[in-house]
Amino acid sequence: GSSSSASTVRQVKLERESELRIEVANDSPLRLRVLNGTAEIFGTELPPQIWLSFPPRLKFAVFTWYGATIELDGSTETDYTADETPMISYVNVHAILDGRRNRAKASSSDASNASQAPRVIVVGPTDSGKSTLSRMLLSWAAKQGWKPTFVDLDIGQGSITIPGCIAATPIEMPIDPVEGIPLDMPLVYFYGHTNPSNNVELYKVLVKELSQMLERQFAGNAESRAAGMVINTMGWIEGVGYELLLHAIDTFNVNVVLVLGQEKLCSMLRDVLKNKPIVDVVKLQRSGGVVSRNAKFRQKARSYRIREYFYGLANDLSPHSNIANFSDLSIYRIGGGPQAPRSALPIGAEPAADPTRLVPVNINQDLLHLVLAVSFAKEPEEIISSNVAGFIYITDIDIQRKKITYLAPSAGELPSKYLIVGTLTWLET
């Protein structure tokens, strides 16, 4: 049950194959440790005896395969024990993927057999536990020494970097239950919006760029190729959302589709993929522990994510406020923009905004409070196909003096003068 009195240490005894589901309080962290037995959080085993501190609002489960006693210190929004979980079916999927990794590794000299490496995509409606299942599969694989690649195509609630991006990163160790995925070396493409319908074509182009970059990396790294990838997706599964799932399955040469908690989506995918015998479509149960999040919560979560980029999870980073001249920066928007005048078109033709056209942006007050990406491009023409180095946040525009003030994770010059702007905003609080 919930309790509001902090610093009341209590114990919870977990039977084998059960879990303790926790929502940390909104305003204070929770301390937790494994007193005896063994337990894991989303696939990562917890160290025995050691107290861990979980930040406010985090929602998670401590699962045990063989039984454990957990000690809690602090208040929670909710905590309860559940003995019905889909964990056995999830770990069975892991075992099958592991077998495929071994076969891919054994035959990595033979390119056709190497295609057995598991390329897994996790699909399902919002709040079906996609990110959580992706995380478990990655952590279990990493525990066995594999370095699978995590690809996150969720521009709303992604786990690799800030919202508005698609990204990939190798997972070299089980994912830390508190810190999440280390931000040190992700491959990030900036889409610039948190909704794919803003520019569906651009989203597809970036997914394609990311996949091609990963193919190049796999070509030079048999170990990483054999470990395969786990791809997390958005909860948008109807209409264009469905089309984007098919696009991702095709683009990444997916061979395992895991469908969480949706009969209809599963049968639609089975039907459309039946001509591709190498693709297995597997239906999995949604965990009863997955917490539903409304639009307001999601918006807040995005905002916290951006804050975390600049300030760190525990306010442990100190971003720098920098000032640049307008002339030092080249800012671009992708898509839309001024269209060709009707008079310049053949009679009867409608002017269409090219969704992947690069449009130079004039610096003015409209940029205030926007989050921009710093491109690795060396020429404007390279911007769409380039990944990004990081992000800045515009805090002041001085039109008179032609100066722009921005927050960056560190001091010093930006790695490039080419910046990309979309509709991603943030209000620092």
- The encoded tokens of residue 420 equal 């990309």
Is 154 marked as binding a ligand? no
Q: How far is the CB of 61 from ligand ATP (least distance, A)?
A: 3
128-150: burial string, b at 16+ Cβ within 10 Å, e else: bbbbbbbbbbbbbbbeeebbbbb
List of residues contacting ligand ATP (CB under 6 A)? 19, 21, 59-61, 124, 126-132, 154, 157, 235, 287, 289-291
Is 429 marked as binding a ligand? no
Q: How far is the CB of 127 from ligand ATP (least distance, A)?
A: 5
Nearer to ligand ATP by Cβ, of 113 and 197: the residue is: 197
Gap between the Cα atoms of 371 and 380, Å rounded: 19
Is 115 marked as binding a ligand? no
Is 108 marked as binding a ligand? no
Please give the residue whose beta carbon sits closest to ligand ATP in the complex: 289
E runs forming strands in 376-413: 388-398, 403-408
Q: How far is the CB of 292 from ligand ATP (least distance, A)?
A: 8
Q: How far is the CB of 180 from ligand ATP (least distance, A)?
A: 10
CB count, 10 Å around CB of 306? 21
Nearer to ligand ATP by Cβ, of 44 and 132: the residue is: 132
Nearer to ligand ATP by Cβ, of 142 and 284: the residue is: 284
> Helices (H) and strands (E) in the chain — how many of each?
8, 23
Dihedral of alpha carbons 302, 303, 308, 314, sign:
negative
The residue type at 18: S
- The encoded tokens of residue 347 equal 């009679």
Is 98 marked as binding a ligand? no
Is residue 302 within 8 A of residue 157, CB to CB? The reply is: yes
- The encoded tokens of residue 114 equal 């190497």
Nearer to ligand ATP by Cβ, of 180 and 337: the residue is: 180
Q: How far is the CB of 308 from ligand ATP (least distance, A)?
A: 15
Is 59 marked as binding a ligand? yes
Gap between the Cα atoms of 429 and 423, Å rounded: 19
Nearer to ligand ATP by Cβ, of 44 and 157: the residue is: 157
Task: Could you list the residues known to form a binding site, using ranges.
Answer: 19, 59, 127-132
Task: Could you list the residues known to form a binding site for ATP, using ranges.
Answer: 19, 59, 127-132
